[in-house]
Amino acid sequence: MTIAIIGPGAVGTTIAAELKAILPETKLIGRRKQSMTYFPENTSKAITIDVSSYDNMNQTFDVIIIAVKTHQLGTVITQLKALAHPDTLIILAQNGYGQVQRIPYQHVHQAVVYISGQKVANQVTHFRDYRLHVQDTPKTRELKTLLSSTKIELILENNIEHKIWYKLLVNLGINSITAIGHQTAKILQLPEMSQLCRNILEEGLKVAQSEGIHFPKQTVDDIMAIYKGYPDEMGTSMYYDVMNQQPLEVEAIQGYIYERARYHQLETPYLDSVYIFLKSYHRQFTQTESE
Ligand code: NAP
């Protein structure tokens, strides 16, 4: 089995490091040829992982794992023709939803990613977890067998949509308020903010139900309890993106839920407001980014 990982960031480098240990021919592909310094499990033991550029590729792969940010996907799709064959298994290791339909191949799956890490320049620090959830299919089962001798846990799901929506909802509340409020998780200390976050989640849950994804009644309470467990100083990816003046994954998270809300003609005033604020912020980058 030949494998490529596209996107030498926190998630992609972690997956590549584990795969290279059992399949040294595994390629980590980036926009340019470079070397990443990878620190597994927040240790100081550095591993060098080589990144190949698209120009150096003259083969197709049986499995391609795409781990770029969702707003970076457009340019990756244009490269797939040279890297994928009709039977390639393509896994999107990204947050958000709605990206699968953009990829014109037969075996494309959205994964739910539980790998925590951070990339700064060409250094990647992996903090914790190595987990990806994907739909159970003959091809993903084959990949799971291959990965069983690595730390990457591939969890096969009968209903991946449920897992995707749960992560979408968890991202929806805290990412929205920390990014717009320019504050870390301590923003939830203000009771009115906590109520606002709850209102956003209630609307997200309503959209999920209309999509036929059913969650128990206490789901919003459960997610609020997860947020409560976050240390005050903890930021979210969208908070850091705003603070660092970077594009946001807004279209794949708030934008996707907003679009589904419009489709079902639901009234979602809190969701609409946060989406419009974040979209407006993100628009400043769309002249230079592909989407
Ligand atoms: P990241 O660290 O920013 O990595 C993205 C990588 O993709 C960067 O190295 C970037 O390189 C590269 N890239 C951009 N455009 C590319 C292209 N056209 N071809 C090849 N490579 C390209 O992002 P991440 O944190 O790994 O996140 C990836 C996905 O996983 C996101 O959807 C994120 O929400 C999700 N996720 C992340 C975490 C986490 O803890 N990090 C946890 C759960 C889920 P350059 O821009 O330097 O060229």
| Residue minimizing CA distance to atom 32 of ligand 1 | 94
- Check pLDDT > 80 for residue 1: yes
Asked if residues 291 and 279 have their Cβ atoms less than 8 Å apart, the reply is: no
- Check pLDDT > 80 for residue 288: no
- Distance between CA atoms of residues 267 and 199, nearest Å: 12
For 128-147, the pLDDT digits (tens) are: 999 999 999 999 999 999 99
- Check pLDDT > 60 for residue 289: no
Q: Give the Å distance between the CA of 5 and the centre of ligand 1.
A: 11
Name the residue of 72, 234, 249 to mutate for ligand 1: max ligand atoms within 8 A of Cβ: 72
| Residue minimizing CA distance to atom 30 of ligand 1 | 94
What integer is the mean pLDDT of 201-214?
98
For 235-261, the pLDDT digits (tens) are: 999 999 999 999 999 999 999 999 999
- Check pLDDT > 50 for residue 21: yes
Q: Give the Å distance between the CA of 224 and the centre of ligand 1.
A: 27
Asked if residues 173 and 230 have their Cβ atoms less than 8 Å apart, the reply is: no
The CB of 236 under 6 Å from ligand 1? The reply is no
The CB of 119 under 6 Å from ligand 1? The reply is yes
What integer is the mean pLDDT of 268-276?
98
For 38-64, the pLDDT digits (tens) are: 999 988 899 999 999 999 899 999 999
Q: Please name every residue paired with 50 in a beta bridge, in sequence order, or none if there are none.
A: 35
pLDDT of residue 290: 47
For 145-188, the pLDDT digits (tens) are: 999 999 999 999 999 999 999 999 999 999 999 999 999 999 99
Q: Give the Å distance between the CA of 286 and the centre of ligand 1.
A: 17
Nearest to 271 by CA among 283, 263, 259, 284: 259
pLDDT of residue 286: 83
The CB of 76 under 6 Å from ligand 1? The reply is yes
pLDDT of residue 176: 98
- Distance between CA atoms of residues 39 and 44, nearest Å: 6
